[in-house]
Amino acid sequence: MRAFVFDTPRSLRTAVDRATENTRYLAGGTTLVDLMKLEVMAPEQVLDINRLPLKGIRYDRDGLFLGALERMSDVAAHPLLRGSYRVISQALELSASPQLRNMASMGGNLLQRTRCGYFRDTTMPCNKREPGSGCPALDGENRGHAILGTSTSCAATHPSDVAVALVALDAQLHVYGPGGQRTTALQDFYRLPGDTPHLENRLRPRELITAITVPPLAKATRSGYLKIRDRQSYEFALTSAAVALRIQGNTIHEARIAVGGVGTRPWRLPAVESALIGKPASEATYEAAAAQSTEEARPLAHNEFKVELLRRTLVRALITVGGAR
């Protein structure tokens, strides 16, 4: 690990004023410290933000509010989340391990870096770590890589589970920086890799995430998160699906679907949503809609299995959440 300046600001203003372009904010440290030890990230300054007023879990007529420093375990266990926003709670509980979830924050989770092995190995080239150096994953070990949103520069998956659930529910991200407070849709926050995979999101220099909000869900909306992985705990997704459905009688009136483990960013599926709306909640409907999830898939040599796995993951998630009569 390289030497760095460390400080613990006590107000948002001070944090932003002290930050430089090469500062990193420290929340739970479960990603940042790892990557600093590996020298994948080498900030000149680390600002511990744990004394900033960035906590709170509440629900009012504007919807759900989650402070950026809320721990993943506290959000997952909160009664509000276990009820109406089950998809968020489940996505969190299927992430990492209990010890990590006790430490890790919501803001940090949304800004974690890819788990592509080449990215974490500084003896290898990687366009995301070092722009222009190349992408060994495209012709190398790519079993875990993306099939949606890839480019000739990078095919790394976005690793966060809860980001998938939040994108499905149209979450908004609230950030604070030198220009004051601003809000952006989480879906627009993440960038596709294109030929600049090192630019992963639209956070500007010195800005920090203060909170996440989620619009209210219509009554009778049911939701859930299904994650398929190589082992049953402590593992990132091969495929995952976040599903929220409002069904009246036996007709689907509203559908929100996003998938993970397959995209270079959390992947919303508007065509699948449209194919569900107005249809009966049946296995045939789910199968027909899920077929559209893979139309744009571009698998690599070792991850073609994800195409079929994604379709099946989606059908199973839809049956679990919506039932099939």
Residues that bind ligand SF4 (CB under 6 A): 114, 116, 118-119, 126-128, 135-137, 154-156, 197
Residues in the site for ligand FAD, rule: CB under 6 A?
24-32, 49, 68, 95-96, 100, 103-105, 107-109, 111-112, 159-161, 208-209, 236
Nearest approach, Cβ of 285 to ligand FAD (angstroms)? Answer: 30
- Of all residues in the shown chain, the one whose CB is closest to ligand FAD is 108
d(CA 236, CA 96): 7
Buried-exposed string 311-323: b where 16+ CB fall within 10 A, e elsewhere: bebbbbbbbebbe
- For the bound state, the minimum distance from the C-beta of residue 260 to ligand SF4, rounded and expressed in Å, comes to 16
CA angle, 60 then 65 then 66, to 5°: 150
Residue 225: contacted member of ligand SF4, ligand FAD, none (CB under 5 to 8 Å, by partner type): none
Least Cα distance to 66 among 213, 279, 169 occurs for: 213
CB of 319 to ligand FAD, least distance (A): 23
Residue 264 interface partner, choices ligand SF4, ligand FAD, none, CB cut-off 5-8 Å depending on type: none
- Which listed option, ligand FAD, ligand SF4, none, makes contact with residue 209 (CB within 5 to 8 Å by class)? ligand FAD
136 contact choice in ligand SF4, ligand FAD, none (CB below 5 to 8 Å, kind-dependent): ligand SF4
Q: Are strands 45-48 and 23-26 parallel, antiparallel or unpaired?
A: parallel
Report the nearest approach of ligand FAD to the CB of residue 278 (Å).
Answer: 33
Residue 261 interacts with which of ligand FAD, ligand SF4, none, CB < 5 to 8 Å by class: none
**List of residues 6+ apart from 175 with CB closer than 8 A:** 181, 182, 183, 184, 203, 207, 208, 209, 210
Q: Which is nearer to ligand FAD, 36 or 147 (CB)?
A: 36
Q: Which does 118 bind (CB under 5 to 8 A by kind): ligand FAD, ligand SF4, none?
A: ligand SF4
Q: What are the CA-CA distances from residue 77 to residues 86, 110, 166, 306 (Å)? A: 10, 19, 16, 31
CB of 83 to ligand FAD, least distance (A): 22
Q: Which two tokens stand for residue 182?
A: 């601003």
| DSSP structure class, residue 112 | P
Minimal distance, residue 320 CB to ligand FAD, in Å: 19
- What DSSP character marks residue 190? B
Q: Which does 154 bind (CB under 5 to 8 A by kind): ligand SF4, ligand FAD, none?
A: ligand SF4
Phi, psi values for residue 17, rounded to 5°: -65, -40
128 vs 311 by CB, closer to ligand SF4: 128
Contact partners, residue 86, CB within 8 Å, separation at least 6: 222, 223, 224, 225
User: Considering the complex, what minimum distance in angstroms separates the CB of residue 192 from ligand SF4?
Assistant: 12
Q: CB count, 10 Å around CB of 95?
A: 25
Angle between helices 305-322 and 283-290 (to 10 degrees): 150
